[in-house]
Amino acid sequence: MQVEKDYEELDQDIEENKVIQKITRQNFMKKVYGIVTFQLSLTTIFVILSQYKPIKNEMLKIYTQNYNSMDSIYIICSLLSLISFIILICYVPRKFPINYILLISYTFFESICISFITIQYNLISIILSLGITSACAIGLTIYALTTKRDFTFCGGFLFASLFMFIIGGIITYFLGFNSDNLISCIIGGVIFSAYLVFDTQLISGEFGNKYSIDDYMIAALNIYLDLINMFIYILKIFGNKK
């Protein structure tokens, strides 16, 4: 009788531990997607402001009359964004509040870079691309959370694909080819769509590999980058430049 009682208590402890782990993981996911929502909201604000006619006309004026000035601003923001990202990911992803300060800094500069890209397209193209990206993101997220297939082991393959894609883009750029052609944009969109499924499953913790609950900042940044890059490539595919 004592043995049976001990087994019952053990089973009860196991079930309670599973419930606690599930609640902890759910809170982790809420935190991650809360951060991503903030990032996307800030980026959207910058994109909307860049579409405001006086601002857009002035930015396009700078772009057409003094390309070097526009280019330098973009490069500066890109470098500051990259520096913020590297420091955040490599050194202080778990150190509050500096991780949040760097997150805001990174998102701010990245949003400016995105705005420089979107001013080249009309508002209808941006809205259309945003709708397509949202639909794809929702569909892929639902698939990642409901499928029985484990994609968390594909990290090495995805990294290799992205690395080859970036190197190929650099080579074609210096050879004078258009690195934003339809095929390249489709490949880029597919890679980051696959990354969205991969990162979503790592966040859910239902498969072989998963994020630690302390890695909420890294998880949020990865999801944000997946969505932003998907949007950019979709915009390049369907967008009409003015």
SS3 121: strand
- How far is residue 196's CA from residue 227's CA, in Å, rounded to a whole number? 7
**Do 204 and 25 form a contact (C-beta atoms < 8 A)?**
yes
φ, ψ of residue 121 in degrees (nearest 5): -120, 155
Burial class (CB in 10 A: 0-12, 13-18, 19+), 227: buried
Note the pLDDT of residue 22. Answer: 82
Q: Tell me what the pLDDT averaged over the chain comes to.
A: 85
What does the pLDDT look like over 35-93, one tens digit per residue? 999 999 999 999 988 887 766 666 665 555 545 555 577 788 889 999 999 999 988 88
Note the pLDDT of residue 2. Answer: 52
